[in-house]
Amino acid sequence: MAEILVIMLAAILTENFIFIKFMGICPFLGVSDKIDKSLGMGFAVIFVMTLSSAVTWVVYHFMLVPLGLEYLQTIAFILVIASLVQFIEMFLKKNVPALYSSLGIFLPLITTNCAVLGAALLNISNGYSFIESVVFGFSAAVGFTLAVLIFAGIREKLKYADVPESFKGTPIALITAGLIAMVFSGFSGISFT
Amino acid sequence: MNKIIKQFKDAAILNNPTFIQVLGMCPTLATTTSAENALGMGLAATAVLILSNVIISLLRKIIPNQVRIASYIVIISGAVTAIELLMKAYLVDLYDSLGIFIPLIVVNCIILARAEAFASKNNVFSSFIDGVATGLGFTGALFIVGCIRELLGAGSIFGIAILPEALHATIFIMAPGAFLTLGAVIALVQKIKKTLENKKKAEINTENDGEEVII
């Protein structure tokens, strides 16, 4: 149990996907201009990353390893993730239309979110068990959501700030992200072992 | 020949994938801790880009339109796996320091964007040139950011010490430094772009003024 907690806290704070590991920066910069939009994206990522961590773990350990095809993991994982996203989209559209209308537009974007593939690859290279993989995928996605939400809150205020001409748009967003990253690197002093 | 030079200039400088289009941010931030890593990452991505552009261009008439994105992703991940295995065999140190970002080239938006916007519509030769040009634009951008970060953070470039130890600002090779450096570099690029545009406008204006005087 303690190990699970360590994985969770590490994935959310000390090893935050956005600010420490730099994964999923594209959606992070893309959807973080409004709080409700980033919340939607965050929930979609939590949903997909938890499921894809589980599915890719099963695919790796029960299909690729017995067949000796470990070197094909990148191709196999991206196909699994792409079809999983497609499947979730169709399932939600048919069975849970309310959820689909709020998450729907974010789902296709997730296929090319490197955090999802990154989490799947890290699960394998860290040698996690099935439970640990699912927990890691879930908490890394929670860390992503936390980062996007904090950032969106600041960005909404940033719109009214008097930013120098050349810094408008991406540069000021990156510098803001840099300042938040400094805060997050403060967590790295915490050790959970 | 002129056409090729123009294509190079368009793809690598005027539409620089990193600084102008702001694509592929994850490797740009994560692998630029030193000039060497940045160069390695850029060249690996360039190799994948050339390979995938050529293959997609060769198959552009065979791939059905409805499943083209899925096909592109399979082709790109095939190319990435090939490069990954080659690096593991011949460039072990570089492979270890880039780590997970080599397989993550698959989801680099630059590569899919070039496949969709260029290679799927153009012949093999110009797709090849496009791959080289975009790849070098990406490599150049990474290299610039990598040099700045290594110089400020570790006081060296390619491991050759330049600044004395007292001037090292370690934060630049840590995570926050990546955001700060890239933000500052993109701001500089925007400034240069603006200045050039203004200059062009001013030139046009003075030309017009000149004509008016003649009239």
* Residue at token pair 């080289």: B132
| Structural contact between residues A29 and A114, judged by C-beta atoms closer than 8 angstroms | no
Task: Find the chain B residues whose C-beta atoms sit closer than 8 A to any C-beta of A.
Answer: 22-26, 29-30, 70, 73-74, 77-78, 80-81, 84-85, 100, 103-104, 106-109, 112, 171, 174-180, 182-184, 186-188, 190-191, 194
Question: Which residues are within 8 A (CB) of B202 and not within 5 positions of it... i.e. 6 or more apart?
Answer: none
CA distance A12 to A15: 6
Cross-chain residue pair A175–B179, CB shorter than 8 Å: yes
Cross-chain residue pair A170–B109, CB shorter than 8 Å: no
Across the range B162-173, mean pLDDT stands at 81
Across the range A46-54, mean pLDDT stands at 90
Closest CA to B29 of A19, A49, A187, A124: A19
| Structural contact between residues B53 and B128, judged by C-beta atoms closer than 8 angstroms | yes
Cross-chain residue pair A78–B22, CB shorter than 8 Å: no
Residue A144 has pLDDT above 50, yes or no: yes
Residue B213 has pLDDT above 60, yes or no: no
| Pairing mode, strands B160-161 and B156-157 | antiparallel
Largest Cα–Cα distance of chain A, in whole Å?
59
The pLDDT confidence band at residue A193, using thresholds 50, 70 and 90, is low
Please name every residue paired with B156 in a beta bridge, in sequence order, or none if there are none.
B161
On whether residue B153 sits in a domain, the answer given is yes
Query: What's the confidence (pLDDT) of residue A50?
Result: 92
The pLDDT confidence band at residue B48, using thresholds 50, 70 and 90, is very high
Query: What's the confidence (pLDDT) of residue B143?
Result: 92
| Structural contact between residues A151 and A183, judged by C-beta atoms closer than 8 angstroms | no
Chain B hits for A186, CB-CB cut-off 8 Å, are none
Taking CA atoms, B102 is separated from A55, A81, B20, B94, in Å, by 22, 18, 23, 10
pLDDT digit string (tens) for B1-30?
A: 788 888 888 888 888 888 888 888 888 888
| Structural contact between residues B38 and B32, judged by C-beta atoms closer than 8 angstroms | yes
On whether residue B212 sits in a domain, the answer given is no
| Structural contact between residues B176 and A178, judged by C-beta atoms closer than 8 angstroms | yes
CA distance B138 to B10: 13
Q: What type of residue is B199?
A: K
Chain B hits for A166, CB-CB cut-off 8 Å, are 187-188, 190-191, 194
Give the SS3 label for residue B158: coil
Residue B215 has pLDDT above 50, yes or no: no
On whether residue B170 sits in a domain, the answer given is yes
Q: Which DSSP category does B65 fall into?
A: G
Chain A hits for B174, CB-CB cut-off 8 Å, are 185
The pLDDT confidence band at residue B95, using thresholds 50, 70 and 90, is confident
Query: What's the confidence (pLDDT) of residue B81?
Result: 92
Say what percent of chain A tops pLDDT 90. 13
| Structural contact between residues A173 and A155, judged by C-beta atoms closer than 8 angstroms | yes
Q: Name the helix (H) or strand (E) containing B157.
A: strand B156-157
The pLDDT confidence band at residue B214, using thresholds 50, 70 and 90, is very low
Q: pTM value?
A: 0.86
Domain count, chain B: 1
Closest Cβ–Cβ partner in A20, A112, A166 for B112:
A112
Cross-chain residue pair A178–B85, CB shorter than 8 Å: no
Cross-chain residue pair B184–A175, CB shorter than 8 Å: yes
Produce one character per residue of B68-101: b if its CB has 16 or more CB atoms within 10 Å, e if not. Answer: bbbbbbbbbbbbbbebbeebeeeeeebbebbeeb
Closest Cβ–Cβ partner in A26, A78, A112 for B25:
A26
User: ipTM for the complex?
Assistant: 0.84
pLDDT digit string (tens) for A12-47?
A: 888 888 888 888 887 888 777 778 878 888 888 888
Taking CA atoms, B1 is separated from A40, B7, B199, B204, in Å, by 49, 10, 28, 29
The pLDDT confidence band at residue B210, using thresholds 50, 70 and 90, is low
| Structural contact between residues A19 and A180, judged by C-beta atoms closer than 8 angstroms | yes
Query: What's the confidence (pLDDT) of residue A191?
Result: 65
Query: What's the confidence (pLDDT) of residue B207?
Result: 66
Chain A hits for B81, CB-CB cut-off 8 Å, are 71-72, 74-75
Query: What's the confidence (pLDDT) of residue B208?
Result: 64
Q: Which residues form the domain of B59?
A: 2-207
Query: What's the confidence (pLDDT) of residue B53?
Result: 92
pLDDT digit string (tens) for B105-143?
A: 888 888 888 888 888 888 888 899 989 999 999 999 999
